Amino acid sequence: MVVDNVTKKFANCLALDNVSVNLYSGECLCLIGPNGSGKSTLIRAICQRITVDKGKIYFTGKVNKRIGWIPQEIAVYPTLSVLENLNYFASISDVPVSKQKEEVNQSLLICALQNRANDKVNNLSVGMKRRLNFAIGLLNNPDIILMDEPTSGVDPENRNKIWSLIAELKSKGSTILLTTQNLEEVEQICDRVAIINNGRIVEQGELNALTERVIGRFWTVSIDARKSVDSEINNNKVRIREKITSVENELPCIIDGIKHQGWLIDGIRVLPPNIHSVYFELTDQQQNKESFDEYKPL
């Protein structure tokens, strides 16, 4: 699948700004970014839930690829049972009538819901409802699966079950585009990552290569400091960022230098060279520009 220079504007908000990204067959691509960065808008554009203002989205290889969409919202009928929901969504999908029962049973099995098939949805936990969301998205045996924050709001046990489900889908050759704000999720299940901020793709690539390119082998130190005792005065606050090779040897010197200059330290964040440090390196300055008057290296 190819997203080629896609732009989408809502009123005065530029939600997608010349976004280009490829999704290759059999891979899991994670799309990550802050709230409001354009992740869900891009997913909805690919699903043709919205039309784009510029650019194009097209699929390579097999003609008439089937798309499965697992939305961020739990989109099920709470007064129906799990099975009734699946039967209903199968009946309005492109699953042939002759195969609907088979597809429903397969989705129940894949998502480990066969023992809860007759339970009303409003009696299920959030994690179970998420798995039902998955089951509905898989009904048409899709070639490409779009997942919008699939583990949002679930407990660790159900999150791990969803991760296992995604890993199983990958092992069977499914092609997956997944949005998330969980960076551990990125490390666990994704082959490549695209980072979106303010509607633009700021970086993309395989995890190790992306880390090497953006961070190198440095640890990233980010320190929030202020001159005034009143931490609510924005123009008294700064964020100090440094890259170091040894936390033990270099961090104490940095802290002493900040204090010597008369700054009061509010918080310290130290990140090793991984997707977490890449993410904050590429998004943190923009997200905090209204809270801090400058990024002040020592």
Q: Tell me the per-residue pLDDT of 139-172, one tens digit each, with 9 for 90 and over.
A: 988 889 999 998 888 888 888 888 998 998 888 8
How many whole angstroms separate alpha carbon 183 and alpha carbon 275?
7
Q: Tell me the per-residue pLDDT of 118-133, one tens digit each, with 9 for 90 and over.
A: 999 999 998 899 999 9
Q: Are 131 and 75 in contact (CB under 8 A)?
A: no
Tens of pLDDT along the chain (298 residues) come to 999 999 999 988 999 999 999 999 999 999 999 988 999 999 999 988 899 999 999 988 765 678 899 998 899 999 999 999 999 999 988 888 899 999 999 999 999 899 999 999 999 998 899 999 999 999 988 889 999 998 888 888 888 888 998 998 888 888 999 999 889 899 989 999 999 999 999 999 999 899 989 888 888 888 988 876 655 555 677 888 888 888 888 999 999 988 888 888 999 988 888 898 889 888 875 554 444 344 344 4
Q: Are 55 and 6 in contact (CB under 8 A)?
A: yes
CATH dotted code for 2-212 = 3.40.50.300
pLDDT value at position 294?
40
pLDDT value at position 64?
61
pLDDT value at position 90?
92
Query: Nearest to residue 266, comparing CAs of 289, 292, 242?
Result: 292
φ/ψ of residue 118, rounded to 5: -95, 5
Neighbour order of strands in the sheet with 2-10 = 13-22, 2-10, 54-58
pLDDT value at position 222?
87
pLDDT value at position 141?
85
pLDDT value at position 298?
43
How many whole angstroms separate alpha carbon 122 and alpha carbon 78?
5
List the chain domain ranges.
Answer: 2-212, 217-287
Residue type, 121: V
